[in-house]
C-alpha cells in the first residue's frame, strides 16, 4: 500500500475503535573493552577498519572466543529485568547474506536465551505503574556499518555502491524482547517512550552500556498492531525499525496506530512488514514484507561451546546490582520531602544526582532544590548548557547558603555572587571580600541611611507609629538603594522599629 492511498485516522478516534498491542525489541550495545567474540577493541568513532582482527572479518580458520564480561553484563541485564537466568545456553548462527557481516551469519542465540521470563514496572508521568513482561534477553553481536555512496543524498535507493567499516562488527549486543503489551490504550505511545527510557536508564545505571541513543547504543524496533475492541485475537503487526530516540518512539507508535486504523477502517488488511521511520516527516513507510528471505536457517554455532551458569556465579553478579533507578527515586523523594510535582521537575531536569550530592555535602533538601532548580538552571538555560556543566558545585551552594544564613549577604547578592563564581572569579567568600559585597552590618552606617529614608517619608513613619508595621517595607527600598543592595532587610526593619519605639 503506497503512502498516497493511506488515510490517517485521528489518534483519539482510532483508539475509540481499536486497542493497540505493542511489542519492543531493544538492542543494547555493551561497553565492554573488547568485542563479543574477538579481542579487538569495542570503541566508537575511530578511523574505519582499525578495530578489526581476523575474527571480525570472518577470515577462514579463525576461532571466536566468548568475552566473559559480555556474558556477565548480559546476566546483569537479565537480573535487573527480573528474568530467570538460563542454567545452560548456547550460541547460534543466524544466516543471512548482506555485506554488514563478512561471515554471512550473525552469532546470536536462538531457542536458549541467557535470560527469559522477566518483567519491568514502568512508571508513567502521573505515577501510574504499568508492568511490561519481558520474553527474553539474549546475547548477540552488532554488524558493520554501511555507507551508501552516490545516488540521491546517500539513500540506499539509487546508490551506486556502499563502503563498509567493520569496526562495529562483533560489538556485544543484548537484545531485549517484550511479550505483547496489551491494555495500554491511549497511553500506548507514552508507555512506549517510558519503556525505552527505563531500559536506557537501567543499562546505564548497571554500567554495562554507555546508553547514548544518538550513538546507537540503545536502538528500538517497535511492533504495533490493532485489535477491534471486541476482538479476542491480536491483529496483524508491523515492525518499525530503528526508532532511535525517545521522542521518535512515541511518535512512531502514535503514527502506526493512526495509519493502521485507516487501513482497517477502509476494509483492508494490515500487511505484516517492516516499516521505516522517518524523523523528518514523523511517518513510517513500507519496508519489505515478511518473506522466505526471513528464513535464517539458525543452527548451533559449532565453534562456541555452551555457557553454563552456576548459582554462585549468578549470586555474585546479583550482589553487584545497583539500586534500581525507580526504587532509588522513590527513596530519594521520601528522604527529601519533595512534592510529586517538585520531584518530577527535578527528574526531568536531570538534577537528581546533583541534588543528592549537594545534600550529601551538607545542604538541606530545600536549599539544594532552590539553587539547582532556580538560579543555576536559569543561568544554564541562558548559557545553553546543562545545569551541571555550568561550573557550580555542591560546595558553591553550601558556601552561598552559609553566607546568607550568617547574614553576610542577602539572597539577591548571593545570586550575583553565583554569577561571579561561574565566571571563574573564585569561591563565594573570596568574591564577597574582593568585590566588597558583604551586607552593611554596621548599624551606624545603616542607621544613617534609615534616618534619611524616614526623613523623606514622614507619612510612612506616621503609619508605622500608628501600628501599620507592614509599612516598614516602603523604607527598605530606599535603604537598599543607599547601601547598594547590601543591607539586610530584616535588620533594617529591626532598627526602624527600635528607633520609633514600636514593638515588632
Looking at 48, 391, 426, 485, which residue binds other proteins (CB under 8 A)?
48
Name the one range near other proteins by CB under 8 A: 193-201, 300-308, 373-381, 495-503. 300-308
The CA–CA distances, whole Å, from 378 to 80, 344, 381 equal: 36, 18, 5
Q: Between 35 and 408, whose beta carbon lies closer to other proteins? A: 35
The distance in angstroms from the start CA to the end CA of the chain is 80
How remote is the C-alpha of 251 from its chain's centroid? Answer: 17
- Asked if 402 contacts 369 with a C-beta cutoff of 8 angstroms, the reply is no
> CA–CA separation, 228 vs 260, rounded Å?
11
- Tell me if 272 contacts other proteins by CB under 8 A: no
The SS3 of residue 243 is coil
The SS3 of residue 266 is coil
- Tell me if 402 contacts other proteins by CB under 8 A: no
Looking at 12, 126, 160, 280, which residue binds other proteins (CB under 8 A)?
160
- Tell me if 388 contacts other proteins by CB under 8 A: no
Q: How far is the CB of 6 from other proteins (least distance, A)?
A: 22
Cell readout for 14 is 482510532
Give the dihedral sign, CA 146/150/154/158.
Answer: negative
Residue at grid coordinates 517497535: 222
> CA–CA separation, 19 vs 17, rounded Å?
7
- Tell me if 41 contacts other proteins by CB under 8 A: yes
Residue 179, Cβ neighbours under 10 Å: how many?
14
The SS3 of residue 366 is helix
Half-sphere exposure of 461 (CA within 13 A, CB side): 15
Looking at 14, 71, 83, 199, which residue binds other proteins (CB under 8 A)?
71
Looking at 88, 268, 281, 348, which residue binds other proteins (CB under 8 A)?
88
How remote is the C-alpha of 11 from its chain's centroid? Answer: 26
- Tell me if 150 contacts other proteins by CB under 8 A: yes
Q: How far is the CB of 142 from other proteins (least distance, A)?
A: 16
Residue 38, Cβ neighbours under 10 Å: how many?
23
Cell readout for 174 is 543484548
Indicate the helix (H) or strand (E) that contains 225: strand 218-228
Q: How far is the CB of 51 from other proteins (least distance, A)?
A: 6
Q: How far is the CB of 22 from other proteins (least distance, A)?
A: 24
Please return the burial class of 58, using the count of CB atoms within 10 Å of its CB with bins 0-12, 13-18 and 19+.
middle
- Tell me if 90 contacts other proteins by CB under 8 A: yes
Name the one range near other proteins by CB under 8 A: 30-38, 128-136, 230-238, 255-263. 30-38
- Tell me if 361 contacts other proteins by CB under 8 A: no
Q: Between 41 and 391, whose beta carbon lies closer to other proteins? A: 41
The SS3 of residue 314 is helix
Name the one range near other proteins by CB under 8 A: 87-95, 220-228, 253-261, 486-494. 87-95
Cα three-residue angle 82-115-119, rounded to 5 degrees = 30
Q: How far is the CB of 232 from other proteins (least distance, A)?
A: 33
- Tell me if 70 contacts other proteins by CB under 8 A: yes
Looking at 13, 17, 68, 268, which residue binds other proteins (CB under 8 A)?
68
Q: Between 90 and 426, whose beta carbon lies closer to other proteins? A: 90
Q: Between 49 and 236, whose beta carbon lies closer to other proteins? A: 49
Size of the site for other proteins (CB under 8 A): 59
- Tell me if 297 contacts other proteins by CB under 8 A: yes
Q: Between 151 and 180, whose beta carbon lies closer to other proteins? A: 151
Looking at 95, 377, 416, 429, which residue binds other proteins (CB under 8 A)?
95
Q: At what angle do helices 489-500 and 458-465 cross, to 10 degrees?
A: 70
The SS3 of residue 321 is coil
Q: How far is the CB of 111 from other proteins (least distance, A)?
A: 12
Binding site for other proteins (CB under 8 A): 32-34, 38-41, 47-54, 57, 65-71, 88, 90, 95-99, 146-151, 156, 159-166, 287-288, 292-293, 295, 297, 299-300, 302, 304-308
Amino acid at each position: 500500500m503506497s503512502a498516497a492511498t493511506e488515510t490517517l485516522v485521528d489518534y483519539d478516534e482510532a483508539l475509540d475503535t481499536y486497542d493497540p498491542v505493542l511489542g519492543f525489541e531493544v538492542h543494547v550495545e555493551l561497553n565492554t573493552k573488547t568485542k563479543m567474540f574477538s579481542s579487538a577493541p569495542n570503541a566508537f568513532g575511530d578511523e574505519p577498519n582499525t578495530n578489526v582482527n581476523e575474527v571480525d572479518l570472518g577470515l577462514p580458520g579463525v576461532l571466536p572466543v566468548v568475552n566473559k564480561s559480555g556474558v556477565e553484563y548480559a546476566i546483569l541485564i537479565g537480573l535487573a529485568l527480573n528474568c530467570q537466568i538460563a542454567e545452560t545456553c548456547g550460541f547460534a548462527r543466524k544466516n543471512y547474506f548482506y555485506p554488514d557481516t563478512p561471515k554471512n551469519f550473525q552469532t546470536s542465540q536462538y531457542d536458549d536465551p541467557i535470560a527469559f521470563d522477566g518483567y519491568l514496572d514502568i512508571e508513567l508521568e502521573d505515577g501510574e505503574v504499568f508492568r511490561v513482561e519481558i520474553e527474553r534477553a539474549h546475547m548477540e553481536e552488532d554488524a558493520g556499518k554501511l555507507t551508501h555512496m552516490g545516488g540521491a543524498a546517500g539513500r540506499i535507493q539509487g546508490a551506486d555502491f556502499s563502503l563498509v567499516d567493520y569496526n562495529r562488527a562483533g560489538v556485544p549486543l543484548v537484545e531485549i524482547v517484550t511479550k505483547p503489551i496489551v491494555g495500554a490504550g491511549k497511553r500506548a505511545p507514552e508507555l512506549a517512550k517510558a519503556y525505552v527510557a527505563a531500559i536506557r536508564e537501567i543499562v546505564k545505571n548497571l554500567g554495562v552500556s554507555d546508553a547514548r541513543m544518538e550513538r546507537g547504543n540503545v536502538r528500538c524496533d517497535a511492533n504495533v498492531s490493532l485489535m477491534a475492541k471486541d476482538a479476542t485475537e491480536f491483529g496483524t503487526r508491523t515492525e518499525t525499525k530503528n526508532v532511535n530516540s525517545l521522542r521518535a518512539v512515541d511518535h512512531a507508535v502514535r503514527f502506526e496506530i493512526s495509519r493502521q486504523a485507516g487501513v482497517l477502517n477502509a476494509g483492508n488488511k494490515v500487511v505484516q512488514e517492516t516499516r521505516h521511520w522517518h524523523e523528518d516527516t514523523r511517518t513510517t513507510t513500507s519496508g519489505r514484507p515478511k518473506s522466505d528471505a526471513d528464513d535464517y536457517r539458525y543452527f548451533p554455532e559449532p565453534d562456541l561451546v555452551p555457557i553454563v551458569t552456576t548459582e554462585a556465579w549468578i549470586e555474585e553478579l546479583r550482589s553487584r546490582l545497583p539500586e534500581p533507578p525507580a526504587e532509588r527515586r522513590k527513596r530519594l523523594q521520601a528522604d527529601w520531602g519533595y512534592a510529586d510535582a517538585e520531584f518530577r521537575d527535578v527528574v526531568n531536569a536531570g538534577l537528581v544526582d546533583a541534588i543528592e550530592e549537594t545534600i550529601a555535602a551538607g545542604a538541606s533538601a530545600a536549599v539544594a532544590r532552590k539553587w539547582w532548580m532556580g538560579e543555576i538552571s536559569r543561568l544554564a538555560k541562558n548559557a545553553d548548557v546543562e545545569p551541571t556543566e555550568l561550573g557550580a558545585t555542591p560546595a558553591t551552594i553550601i558556601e552561598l547558603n552559609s553566607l546568607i544564613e550568617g547574614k553576610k549577604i542577602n539572597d539577591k547578592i548571593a545570586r550575583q555572587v553565583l554569577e561571579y563564581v561561574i565566571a571563574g572569579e573564585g569561591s563565594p567568600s573570596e568574591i564577597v571580600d574582593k568585590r566588597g559585597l558583604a551586607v552593611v552590618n554596621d548599624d551606624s552606617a545603616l542607621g544613617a541611611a534609615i534616618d534619611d529614608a524616614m526623613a523623606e517619608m514622614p507619612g510612612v513613619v506616621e503609619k508605622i507609629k500608628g501600628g501599620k508595621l507592614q509599612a516598614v517595607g516602603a523604607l527598605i527600598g530606599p535603604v537598599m538603594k543607599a547601601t547598594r543592595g547590601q543591607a539586610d532587610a530584616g535588620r533594617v526593619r529591626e532598627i526602624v522599629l527600635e528607633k520609633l519605639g514600636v514593638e515588632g
